[in-house]
Structure 1
Amino acid sequence: MLYNAGSEVYSQTICHGLANSGHEVHVFTREEDSFKPDGAMRKSADGDVPEITVHLVN
């Protein structure tokens, strides 16, 4: 998790619950990198539940 505030923790908890119940989970979130063009996207995985795909959009 890149940020650790209330809404991020809440969202991560929901995603973990869904993934642990057998659902395929994809999360789209904002990444701010001034060296990449707007709209550039990369994939990552959740640090605790690697089955969750995280899409980071610049």
Structure 2
Amino acid sequence: MRGPLSDVAVRRALQTRAGICVTVADVLDAEGSALAADLGARARFAHLDVTAEDSSGRSERAR
């Protein structure tokens, strides 16, 4: 993985915090889904393309 999704330290910190919920939002569906799965049951993935105006509304509704 590249970019923010590759930060293992952040992933491990999130995994150790009890009760935290995480939404991974990215244009890279496969990588984002894999990261959310790696983080566990309290994480999910939402497709988000910041260059597409209607994309951010979809991720907000995914809550």
Which range, TM-score by smaller chain? Answer: 0.3 to 0.5
Which TM-score applies when normalising by structure 1? 0.45
Larger helix share, 1 or 2: 2
Which TM-score applies when normalising by structure 2? 0.43
Which structure is higher in RCO with an 8 Å CA cutoff and minimum separation 6? 1
